[in-house]
Amino acid sequence: MVVQYEQLFQKVLPVLSIRKADFKMEGLKHITEQDIWRFLVSKKWRKIDESDLALHKVIEDIFSLTAAQYMTFTQVEELKSSNWFAPINEEEFQLLIGKGNSSSQEISS
């Protein structure tokens, strides 16, 4: 299963590089080919059997991916992985309520 995805990744790496360059022109400076591939495997193809992925379909999916779709995916993944109930220290609490930020103190003065 993973072997086929790896082989497919190597085949379409030039297409992923082109899409990465497109995204960089749209302002996504830190995106990599692996990031795009992870989106496709995790989101776009999660319910598709990898043996059903034809090369032309994979290339179509790469080029049809939008920056907005990718950003939404990364934001949702970050929200899923965040520990919302982790304890915070006093400094983080002060920053959260705005008392630890010197710019907010200057504004209130």
pLDDT above 80 (res 105)? no
55-64 helix and 2-25 helix, angle to the nearest 10 degrees: 30
pLDDT value of residue 11: 94
pLDDT above 70 (res 13)? yes
Name the band, by pLDDT with cuts 50, 70 and 90, for residue 108: very low
pLDDT tens digit sequence for 56-103: 999 999 999 999 999 999 999 888 877 767 787 888 888 888 875 555
pLDDT value of residue 3: 62
pLDDT value of residue 92: 81
Distance from C-alpha of 29 to C-alpha of 1, rounded to nearest angstrom: 31
- Length of the chain equals 109
Residues of the chain above pLDDT 70, percent: 87
Average pLDDT, the chain: 85
